[in-house]
Structure 1
Amino acid sequence: MRIAILSLAAAVLCMPAVAQPLPEPSSYPPVVGARGVITTHELSLDMAERIARAGIDQCRKMGYHTTMVVIDSSGTMKVFLRDDQTGPHTINLAQDKAYTALTLANRFATSLNFAKTRGGTLGTPMPNIRGVTTVGGGVPIKYHGETIGAVASSGAVGADKDEICSQAGIDAVAAELK
């Protein structure tokens, strides 16, 4: 009997809290920067093509045949160019390099340092992070500080050379990114 009375009392005491309407959304404390709609910038197909072409041209000047991949801010491939005499392995690797640059929003050194802190080395795949690699050659594409995509080259002898080609692609459109 005592348990029944205590249960009834608890239920009655909780009812006012359940029955009260939620406050109006305007009475919630504001979240800094949140308005319900987020404005972002998108990498155009035209710009992505020019970045990839300039990267291929730079690699050719250096004597390399490479694959260039440009991805948008969602990590989706926007442009893919594979130069003549380029190995098939460069396709997926270039995409992974670009995705790594986008995801970590930095260059090769960041991904390598990320791997080293987890016991990895150059070329170590990132466990549980599909598409992220420690092989350099990718560079994020930024518009007024916002990462809007990434570009990566694969096929030059050395990730540092791939990165030079990727950066050349961005340099070709630098005036439009300011």
Structure 2
Amino acid sequence: MERFSFSALLGLVAAMAQGQELPRQKVLPVEIAIKIAQGAMDRCKADGYAVSVTIVDAAGHVKVQLRGDGTGPHTLEHGKRKAYTAMTFKRTSAETLKAWAAAGPIPLVEGTVAAAGGVPIRAGADVIGGIGVSGAPGGEKDEACANEGIQKVSSTLR
């Protein structure tokens, strides 16, 4: 049996590591998250809806939350769950609701919600976060506001 010296082993490890790079990951900067949230809030306000908006990053952590004037206290948590659902499943929360409903009983997945109003935030093909809007009279209206917020920064997210 052949024995390697410690220095030879270190040299072998170093040679194996050469040429390997750490994976690169796109992130959602707070400045962009604020613009998305404000864009969604502005759209809903213009439409006459008092809403709360939550942006989560790719790890599911809250990046930005805005609670509109006159909103119910539940809208912050509901919007957060919509954003988390969209980010986690990489599709709108409305699409997730449809998929769950078609599969049978809606599963209980911690932090998610079976309600429309959440949209993934993409940078190219990568999902870098999610937005959830809550408070408009219907999830489709929440989702329209979320999409408007993303649209405000679409050129930056390419």
Task: Tell me by how many angstroms 1:25 deviates.
Answer: 7.0
Q: Which contiguous aligned blocks of 4+ residues in structure 1 show a shift greater than 4 angstroms? A: none
Relative contact order: is structure 1 or structure 2 higher (C-alpha 8 Å, sep ≥ 6)?
2
Task: Tell me by how many angstroms 1:112 deviates.
Answer: 1.3
Describe the shift of the 1:36–1:114 C-alpha distance in structure 2 as closer, same or farther (beyond 3 A): farther
Question: How far, CA to CA, are the matches of 2:35 and 2:104 in structure 1?
Answer: 38
Give the structure-2-normalised TM-score: 0.85
**Secondary structure of 1:132's aligned partner:** coil
Partner residue, 1:56 = 41
Q: Does 1:46 align with 2:31?
A: yes
Partner residue, 2:72 = 87
Question: Identity of paired residues, percent?
Answer: 33
Q: Does 1:156 align with 2:136?
A: yes
Amino acid at match of 2:64: V
Equivalence map 1:106-125=2 (5 Å):
106-120=91-105
Equivalenced residue count is 149
Amino acid at match of 2:134: S
Q: Does 1:140 align with 2:125?
A: no
Partner residue, 1:69 = 54
Task: Tell me by how many angstroms 1:133 deviates.
Answer: 1.1
Question: How far, CA to CA, are the matches of 1:113 and 1:159 in structure 2?
Answer: 13
* Contact 1:104 1:110 survives alignment (8 Å): no
Q: Does 1:171 align with 2:131?
A: no
Amino acid at match of 1:75: G
Partner residue, 1:37 = 22
* Contact 2:94 2:115 survives alignment (8 Å): no
Q: Extract unaligned runs of 5+ from structure 2.
A: 5-11
Partner residue, 2:89 = 104
Give the structure-1-normalised TM-score: 0.76
Amino acid at match of 1:82: R
The structure with more radius of gyration: 1
Task: Tell me by how many angstroms 1:138 deviates.
Answer: 0.6
Question: How far, CA to CA, are the matches of 2:98 and 2:116 in structure 1?
Answer: 11
Q: Deviations over 1:79-111 (max 9, x none)?
A: 000000000010110000000000110013421
Question: How far, CA to CA, are the matches of 1:110 and 1:155 in structure 2?
Answer: 19
Task: Tell me by how many angstroms 1:134 deviates.
Answer: 1.1
Question: How far, CA to CA, are the matches of 1:109 and 1:68 in structure 2?
Answer: 16
**Secondary structure of 1:106's aligned partner:** coil
